[in-house]
């Protein structure tokens, strides 16, 4: 389920959703903030455009919102219910988690969103060398 060919593979590894070989982002590290949103125009392996139409990633904001809510709920459950922290401690931890994971969530949202529209094609990547 997490192997190549599943959308989770593409999302977890930030690989092109079509070929699952090419990297979508120029810089593999999302914490190099000045490169955070720089993507290849086309997948270097299968030429899938990383932005199929202008302003494509407006919709990714909703994905980002969903991830943020899920993250908040998970953080809240752990810190307030399991560890038993007070409200302000929990709020500080939520803020910290959001800042720490922000760049990662940004990319995760984009890749998830692109995966909604682009299907895996096992023949997209050239087979030579495999």
Q: Which residues of the chain form contacts with Zn ion (CB under 5 A)?
A: 16, 18-19, 22, 43, 45-46, 48
- Closest to Zn ion by CB, 97 vs 124, is 124
Min dist CB 99 to Zn ion, Å, is: 31
C-beta closer to Zn ion: residue 39 or 45: 45
Nearer to Zn ion, 14 or 98 (CB): 14
Angle at the Cα of 40 (from 97 to 67), degrees rounded to 5? 25
Beta carbon of residue 64, minimum distance to Zn ion (angstroms, whole number): 23
Strands (E), 2-129: none
The torsion of the CA quartet 46, 33, 63, 98, rounded to 10 degrees, works out to 150
Cα atoms in the 13 Å half-sphere on the side-chain side of 75: 20
């Amino acid at each position: 389920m997490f192997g190549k060919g599943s959308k989770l593979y593409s999302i977890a590894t930030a690989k092109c959703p079509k070929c699952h070989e090419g990297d979508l982002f120029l810089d593999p590290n999302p914490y190099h903030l000045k490169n955070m949103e720089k993507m290849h125009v086309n997948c270097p392996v299968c030429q899938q455009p990383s932005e199929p139409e202008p302003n494509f990633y407006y919709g990714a904001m909703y994905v980002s919102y969903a991830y943020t809510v899920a993250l908040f709920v998970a953080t809240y459950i752990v810190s307030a219910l399991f560890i038993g922290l007070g409200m302000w401690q929990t709020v500080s931890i939520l803020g910290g988690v959001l800042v720490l994971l922000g760049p990662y969530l940004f990319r995760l949202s984009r890749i998830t969103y692109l995966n909604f529209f682009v299907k895996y094609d096992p023949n997209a990547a050239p087979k030579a060398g495999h």
